[in-house]
Amino acid sequence: MPTLHESMLMTKTIEYILSAVFLVLFVLFWNFVFGTPRRPDAHAGRGDHHE
Amino acid sequence: MMNHAGHMTTSATLLRGDWLPRPSVRGHLRSYVTPFNVVAAAILCIGAPVTVNRFVNGLAATTNLTDDVPWGLWIGFDVLCGVALAAGGFVMAATVHLFGLREYQPLVRPAILTGFLGYFFVVIGLMYDLGRPWRLPFPMVYSPGVTSVMFEVAWCVALYLTVQFLEFCPAIFEWLGLRRWRAWAVWLTTGLTVFGVLLSTLHQSALGGLFLIAPGKLHPLWYSPYLPLLFFASAVAAGIAMVIVESMLSHRVFRSHVEHHDERQMNRLVLGLGRAGAIVLMAYFCMKCLAFAHEHGWHLLRTPYGYWWLVEMLGFILCPCMMYAIAARRGLVWLVRVASVVTVLGIVLNRLNVSIIAYRWDAARRYVPDWQEFVITITIVTTGLIMFRWIVNRMPVLHDDPRYEPVH
């Protein structure tokens, strides 16, 4: 049974690791969303054909 | 009885039906008989007597609320969801008037109108929910209660409702032909936008702050000391999604108002909003995960509430986030629209989870809304739609008035 101190340490460690992971993921995601489109012919009007 | 020509009506004319409106007038009246109007009229016919019952016989006669559960569907849906989904007004106003992205100008007025009506009907919903609705102005004039989060919410909602009305005034003055008044209203735009963003940030987060007082009542998977931050982030996502959904519906329902719009330009705007939606939803998702880790609720994941929480997290936050991102990347406008609908449903689900489903989750007797509560909620939403249509059909909301310069 972990003590309260050990439990808090574990929680804080997980929080810090998650924060770092999410920061990296967020930067990658930003790059994915605002990066150059994979298909150069992709433009705004394409969605119409799928409606 | 006098007919239209002013002649005295005889029994013969009565039998002939000459006293009836002329065919053109009859045709005009017949034009009101549309599926939407018929359904709306039926809802209002049911809602009116329930409203009378609520205000004559009180909350006990119309709701299943108790002293243990004093906030039900009207607070959970009408107020919390209403405020979150009305966030499009301040999001779009800030985008155009503060960040200078002027190409989004065509979406500002519909967003502000949706926001204004959303807040207006939040106040109407609050009138139904308050035991003594005539005390609504008390936080302003009689008993402020400055230590309560509700003091902040009351002031912010009242001020922001006023701000949104003033932001919408240029459209009203254009409709009325009041050129000088319109110039004054336009002159105020930037200041009003700054004030509106400030007020929205405060009260969107304060609505989450209302639940900070109830850590023992709200399920640990939804409770977090970061609730104000989560409410604000999700409100921005809801605002963006509502602007997309609203523009999609308006383009179908009010086709004649938007036929001059450049379709490709509108699609570009929708894709831009989709990008913003993806980023905001990802930020919201990360914040929710960190709040979960902070509460150390891993053991709760393998419970029925844990599965339900995962449905909200994965199905209604991460899934639309990815849909937005893929749609923006590949230029799929239809996917942005689908993602927006899922986002709106997700924010509604989140607010209902926090205020009803996961609230008093361990109580022996759970709160289930009375049928009359549903009727009032549907009546309020229907009235909002009717008012939206009435305004859009008269004022320059979806289209610019050619007699005036656009507001920038």
Residue spans of the domains in chain A: they are 1-29
Measured between beta carbons, which residues in chain A are less than 8 angstroms from residue B331? 37, 42-47
Contact call for B275 and A11, based on CB within 8 A: no
Blockwise average pLDDT, block size 10, chain B, 408 residues: 43 53 70 87 95 93 89 92 92 92 90 94 93 88 84 91 93 90 91 93 92 90 93 95 91 77 85 94 93 85 93 96 93 94 96 92 88 95 94 87 71
* A48/B278 CB distance under 8 A: no
Looking at CA atoms only, how far is residue B286 from chain A in angstroms? 6
Is residue B19 packed enough to be buried (19+ CB in 10 Å), middle (13-18) or exposed (0-12)?
Answer: middle
B332's tokens = 């799929």
In angstroms, the Cα distances linking B123 to B49, B57, B129 are 20, 21, 10
Instruction: Kindly state the average pLDDT of the residues A34-47.
Output: 58
Q: Would you say B72 and B63 are in contact if contact means Cβ atoms under 8 Å apart?
A: yes
Looking at residue B21, its pLDDT comes to 55
Tell me, what's the pLDDT at A9? Answer: 85
Strand partners, B359: B218
Using CB atoms, pick whichever of B267, B293, B325 lies closest to residue A14.
B293
The pLDDT of A5-20, averaged and rounded, is 85
B289, B324, B332 ranked by CB distance to A46: nearest: B332
Interface A:B, Cβ pairs < 8 A: 82
Top residue of A13, A29, A50 to mutate, by most chain B CBs within 10 Å, is: A29
Q: Does A27 touch chain B (CB under 8 A)?
A: no
What are the tokens at A21? 């992971």
Q: Is the pLDDT of residue A46 over 90?
A: no
In angstroms and rounded to an integer, the radius of gyration of the C-alpha atoms of chain B is 24
**Cβ–Cβ below 8 Å for B334 and A15:** no
* pLDDT, position B22: 59
CB within 8 Å: B329 and A19: no
Whether B131 and B99 have beta carbons less than 8 Å apart is answered as: no
Per-residue confidence band for A39, with pLDDT thresholds at 50, 70 and 90: low
- Report if pTM > 0.90: no
Residue B127: predicted pLDDT: 92
Contacts of B329 in chain A (CB under 8 A): 32-33, 35, 37-38, 42
**Residue-wise pLDDT tens digits, B127-148:** 999 989 998 888 888 888 888 8
Residues 266-295 of B with CB under 8 A from A: 267-268, 270-271, 275, 278-279, 282-283, 286, 289-290, 293-294
Q: Long-range contacts of range B195-201, CB-CB < 8 Å, 24 or more positions apart?
A: B195/B159, B195/B163, B196/B89, B196/B90, B196/B93, B196/B94, B196/B160, B196/B163, B196/B164, B196/B167, B197/B90, B197/B93, B197/B94, B197/B98, B199/B156, B199/B159, B199/B160, B199/B163, B200/B87, B200/B90, B200/B156, B200/B160, B200/B235, B201/B232
pLDDT given at position A4: 81
Provide the pLDDT confidence category of residue A45 given band limits of 50, 70 and 90.
very low
Q: Residues of B367-376 as b/e, b for ≥16 C-beta within 10 angstroms?
A: bebbebbebb
- CB contact (8 A) between residue B264 and residue A32: no
What pLDDT does B196 receive? 93
Given a cut of 90, whether residue A37 has pLDDT beyond it is no
Query: B65-367 falls under which CATH superfamily?
Result: Formate dehydrogenase/DMSO reductase domain (1.20.1630.10)
Q: Kindly identify which residue of chain B lies nearest to residue A23, measuring between CA atoms.
A: B286
Would you call A5 an interface residue with chain B, using a CB distance cutoff of 8 Å? no
What is the distance in angstroms between the Cα of A12 and the nearest Cα belonging to chain B?
8
For chain B, domain boundaries: 46-64+372-383, 65-367
Mutate to test the interface with B, among A17, A24, A33 (most CBs of B within 10 A): A33
A40 touches chain B (CB under 8 A): no
Residue of B278, B330, B333 lying closest to A48 (CB–CB): B333
Identify the closest residue of chain A to B297 by CA–CA distance. A11
